[in-house]
Amino acid sequence: MDKYAKRRAKLASWLESKGIAAAMFEDTEGRRDPSIRYLSGQPGDAVLFVTAKGRSVLVPWDENMAARYASVDRIVPYGAYGRQASKAIEAMAVDEGLAHGSLVELPSATPYPVFVDYAAEVENLDFTCRSDGADEFVLGLRAVKDEAEVELYRRAAAITDEVADEIERMVREGRARTEADVALFIERACRERGCEGTGFDTLAAGPGRSFGIHAFPNYTAAPFATEGLSILDFGLKLDGYTTDVTMTFACGKLDPKRERMVELVERAYAEAVAMCRPGTATRDIALRVDGIFDGAGMKMPHALGHGVGLEAHEAPWVRSREDNLWKLAPGHVVTMEPGLYDPEAGGVRLENDVLITENGFEVLTKSRIVRL
Amino acid sequence: MDKYAKRRAKLASWLESKGIAAAMFEDTEGRRDPSIRYLSGQPGDAVLFVTAKGRSVLVPWDENMAARYASVDRIVPYGAYGRQASKAIEAMAVDEGLAHGSLVELPSATPYPVFVDYAAEVENLDFTCRSDGADEFVLGLRAVKDEAEVELYRRAAAITDEVADEIERMVREGRARTEADVALFIERACRERGCEGTGFDTLAAGPGRSFGIHAFPNYTAAPFATEGLSILDFGLKLDGYTTDVTMTFACGKLDPKRERMVELVERAYAEAVAMCRPGTATRDIALRVDGIFDGAGMKMPHALGHGVGLEAHEAPWVRSREDNLWKLAPGHVVTMEPGLYDPEAGGVRLENDVLITENGFEVLTKSRIVRL
């Protein structure tokens, strides 16, 4: 049984226990879901069914791609169903011998009008579609990295650090002068080192643009790491799994406001990381950081962190919202990324990826605030 | 009245005529909708309400970004609503004086479980959520480019051609040897020429990987434009609007199968473009191309084309599915991109952006199959 079949077996037991005959996963433009890759190896652009009996049926957009990457019981070309998901669902149910009226779980991202259409068009099945259903169960599996995944993260982190170190050298030696210089170096360097690419659009913002949480456009031909605060947020994707780090380059003698922002972020980061251990509520960590910033009359306009994996942002969530009930557990890999932003002073953010271990934590990446 | 207010005025009239008090638009991770940018100038990460009275309320994730880019009646920080969309909807209704029980249109991408939550949590409003509602109406507006948008497309096309020409020279002169060489040249060249970046992930696939419709990973350190068929699919984003072109590099003496694929794609492309004029059903064009390939015993595994604009793929659609009822109209900018793929021979695709004029068409970009 390969790793995909093992993962599907866990899902199948869960489905069985919930009285669900099959669950559907969908990865299409506008509704990406890397759980398809987690459960089948198929990189994307497909519909996947997993039944409570443990059977898997993949309906890919690109058959050649599926033949090369997918490890499932059956591959059925999308064209066979007139490119209509409702027909694919109906046919899957017949081919897999699902009883009339069986319950099928749809992806939680299924748009309301699409759900209504499925319900009207598919007569042989009942549907459920919940925010805490089968895909949420798989997100829970994904949140806890197994040994092989942790090993992959160590390799991805080492490459990320190597690239970050080289960027610091390039900046110090005047070999990288613009946002594009830095971002394009990352794009090339990661591929030369065996990565699939970057895990998300690199954000490189020089002092004139670092006021934005996520710079727009994400990088330009503007100067980087000149006088003031510059932010570099990037991640490298290795075999599907992405790192996510942010460095700030603080250049020149900072005025008191910028100096204060840098110190606050460094302090918040240190306190947040130190709280990481199994059992800790991530909300408590986020509230601690909020408190540090509140005490200085400042406010962080985004969440403190998030899990990383096949998606750059995934469970577990690290935020101060009341509905965040996540507790850290061994195998979680989360970012800690306090940041402060000011329309005039610019922004500062520090972010690393933290593995939760049996007894505490291990910071996988070595991103930092660089003073120039 | 700026262009955003003019667009919102059209939407407001439509809402008024349908008895809808307000429409909601949402651009968040996992549910991107550049209609927010079309209607307000805000690049993204926001919720936008437009009322039938023509009022606009933006709830941005990043206030600094909104202060710089958004042109709306009112900006309300997301934090003010505990980062919960349902509370933002409720407050908007009160602040804008919507009557109790008013009908609010939710984005058609709203997930079923989210719709159910809104309906349960928001007591002062009724909701509608349809595939042919307010956001579809705005997609219809976006499909027809006005004079300024067409002018922008001419500029974007000229830059795209300049970059394509330089890539052909680089390949011919041996200055671009890998997929990464080509893709990274595009990333840098477009920014140096004033673009925001690429409009989507560049697909550069050498002969070993061109069998995939969309290569995975999208580009690597592998050789490009060596013996066989290589595909380069890219687009440049200028002020939000993206071009979308595909070149194939056919290198060396092709075997009969590859030669046949290239000739079929060139013929299909020429016939498809020649059919472009106002009133033509896009399905008829797609069926013509299907017929050409069928006649040769081959099959195109994707749609023939699509509109381009603030999204790389948007209305009008150009595909042979029965439910495609689109007819071309002046101001449409669509791609024509026939392609054929074979697990051994590799793939060939040719794609340009075509403007529909009053009397016919104008091919904006000059992408081609390059024989080396």
In chain A, where the domains are located? 3-141, 144-371
Q: Per the structure block, which two tokens stand in for A218? A: 């994400």
Contact A218, A340 (CB under 8 A): no
What's the pLDDT band for B30 if we cut at 50, 70, 90?
A: confident
pLDDT at A83 > cutoff 80: no
What part of B 332-371 touches A (C-beta under 8 Å)? 341-343
Tell me which residue of A328, A346, A349 sits closest to A337, measured CA to CA. A349
Q: What is the pLDDT of residue A317?
A: 97
Please name which of B81, B83, B80, B86 lies closest in space to residue B113, comparing C-alpha atoms: B86
Report the percent of chain A where pLDDT is more than 70.
100
| Contacts with B114 from chain A: Cβ below 8 Å | 112, 131
Please write the tens of the pLDDT for every residue from A128-142: 999 999 999 999 999
**Span A182-192, average pLDDT:** 96
pLDDT at B82 over 80: no
Residue B81 has pLDDT above 90, yes or no: no
Q: Which residues pair with B116 in a beta bridge?
A: none
State which residue of chain A sits closest to B133, comparing Cα positions. Answer: A113
pLDDT of residue A77: 86
Please tell me which residue of chain A has the smallest CA distance to B30: A31
Instruction: State the DSSP code for B107.
Output: P
| Residue A97: Cβ within 10 Å count | 11
Helix, strand or coil, per DSSP, at residue A23: strand
**What SS3 state is found at A284?**
helix
Given pLDDT bands bounded at 50, 70 and 90, which one contains residue A182? very high
Q: Are A269 and A302 contacting, i.e. CB atoms less than 8 angstroms apart?
A: no
Does the beta carbon of B136 lie under 8 angstroms from any beta carbon of chain A? Answer: no
* Chain A interface includes B119 (CB < 8 A): no
Query: In chain A, positions 140-179, which contact chain B (CB-CB < 8 Å)?
Result: none
Report the CATH superfamily, name and number, of domain A3-141.
Answer: Creatinase/prolidase N-terminal domain (3.40.350.10)
pLDDT digits (tens, 9 = 90+) for B286-323: 999 999 999 999 999 999 999 999 999 999 999 999 99
**What pLDDT, on the 0 to 100 scale, is given for residue A85?**
87
Q: Are B346 and B353 in contact (CB under 8 A)?
A: no
**How confident is the prediction for chain B on average, in pLDDT?**
96
Chain B residues within 8 A of A302 when measuring between CB atoms: 61
CA distances from B185 to A186, A188, A197, B231, B266 (A): 14, 11, 16, 16, 26
Q: What value does the mean pLDDT take over residues A242-253?
A: 98
Cβ of A213 within 8 Å of Cβ of B61? The answer is yes
pLDDT band at B77 (very low <50, low <70, confident <90, very high): confident
- A5 φ, ψ (degrees, to nearest 5): -65, -35
Give tens-digit pLDDT for B224-247: 999 999 999 999 999 999 999 999
Residues in chain A with CB shorter than 8 Å from the CB of B187 are: 180, 183-184, 187
* CB contact (8 A) between residue B217 and residue A211: no
Please give the Cα distance from B21 to B29 (Å, whole number): 27
Mean pLDDT over all residues of chain A? 96
- With beta carbons less than 8 A apart as the criterion, state whether B351 and B367 touch: yes
d(CA B358, nearest CA chain A) in Å: 32
Please state the φ and ψ torsions of residue B108, each to the nearest 5 degrees: -65, -15
Q: In this complex, is the C-beta atom of A191 within 8 Å of any C-beta atom belonging to chain B?
A: yes
Question: DSSP alpha helices (H): ranges in chain A?
Answer: 3-18, 35-40, 63-69, 85-95, 112-121, 134-143, 147-172, 179-192, 256-274, 282-295
Per DSSP, the three-state class of A234 is strand
Give the pLDDT score at A107: 97
End-to-end CA distance of chain A: 53
Checking if the pLDDT of A15 tops 80, the result is yes
A30–B31 C-beta distance less than 8 A: yes
Tell which wins on pLDDT, B283 or A82.
B283
Query: Smallest Cβ distance to B343: which of A64, A109, A114?
Result: A64
Collapsing DSSP to helix, strand or coil, B159 comes out as helix
Alpha helices in chain B (DSSP H): 3-18, 35-40, 63-69, 85-95, 112-121, 134-143, 147-172, 179-192, 256-274, 282-295
pLDDT at A88 over 80: yes
Which homologous superfamily is A144-371 in? Creatinase/methionine aminopeptidase superfamily (3.90.230.10)
Element (H, E) at A174: none
Reading phi first (left if > 0) and then psi (alpha if -120 to 50, else beta), residue A45 is in left
CA–CA distance, B88 with B178 (Å, rounded to integer) = 49
The ipTM (two decimal places) reads 0.92
| The pLDDT of residue B89 | 93
Chain B residues whose beta carbon lies within 8 Å of the beta carbon of residue A32: 30
What is the arithmetic mean of pLDDT over B253-282? 98
In order of A26, A45, A70, B149, B187, the CA distances from A42 in angstroms are 11, 8, 5, 38, 27
DSSP code for B218: S
Q: d(Cα B105, Cα A132) in Å, to the nearest integer?
A: 25
- What Å distances lie between residue B173 and A133, B170, B183, B372, CA to CA? 56, 5, 17, 11
Span B260-272, average pLDDT: 98
Strand order in the sheet with A125-128: A74-75, A56-60, A46-51, A22-27, A102-105, A125-128
pLDDT at A1: 83
- A108 contacts on B by Cβ (under 8 Å): 111-113
Among chain A residues, the shortest Cα distance to B106 is held by: A112
CB-closest option in B30, B82, B112 to A112: B112
- Terminal C-alpha separation, chain B: 53
Mean pLDDT of B81-105: 91
Residue type, A297: G
Indicate whether A293 pLDDT > 90: yes
Cβ distance A312 to A244 under 8 Å?
yes
Nearest by CB to A129, from B63, B113, B131: name it. B113
- Rounded to 10°, the helix B147-172/B179-192 angle is 140
Residues 56-95 of A with CB under 8 A from B: 61-65, 67, 69, 79, 82-83
The tokens describing A83, both together, are 């490119």
Q: In chain B, what are the helix, strand and coil shares in percent, each to the nearest 5?
A: 35, 25, 40
Å between A111 CA and nearest CA of chain B? 4
Query: Measured between alpha carbons, how far is A310 from A39 in angstroms, rounded to an integer?
Result: 11
CA distance B106 to chain A (A): 10
Beta-carbon separation of B184 and A180 below 8 A: no
Question: Would residue A240 be called left, alpha or beta, if left means φ above 0 and alpha means ψ between -120 and 50 degrees?
Answer: left
> Does the pLDDT at position A78 exceed 90?
no
Distance from CA of B164 to the nearest CA of A (A): 19
Q: What is the pLDDT of residue B78?
A: 82
pLDDT at B216 over 90: yes
Predicted confidence (pLDDT) at residue A53 exceeds the cutoff of 90:
yes
Distance from C-alpha of A69 to C-alpha of A73, rounded to nearest angstrom? 13
**pLDDT for B83 beyond 90:** no
Q: What share of chain A is helix, strand, coil (3-state, %, to 5)?
A: 35, 25, 40
Find the range with the poorest average confidence among A81-85, A180-184, A286-290. A81-85
Query: Is residue A84 over pLDDT 90?
Result: no
Task: Give residues 239 to 278 of A whose Cβ lies within 8 Å of B.
Answer: none
Q: Could you give the count of Cα atoms lying within 13 Å of B339 in the half-sphere of its Cβ?
A: 32
**Spatial contact of A368 and A265, defined as CB atoms under 8 Å apart:** no
Is pLDDT of A243 > 90? yes
Q: Which two tokens stand for residue A196?
A: 């699939």
**Structure-block tokens of residue A324:** 């965040």
The answer to whether B121 faces chain A, any CB pair under 8 Å, is: no
Find the mean pLDDT for residues B61-88: 89
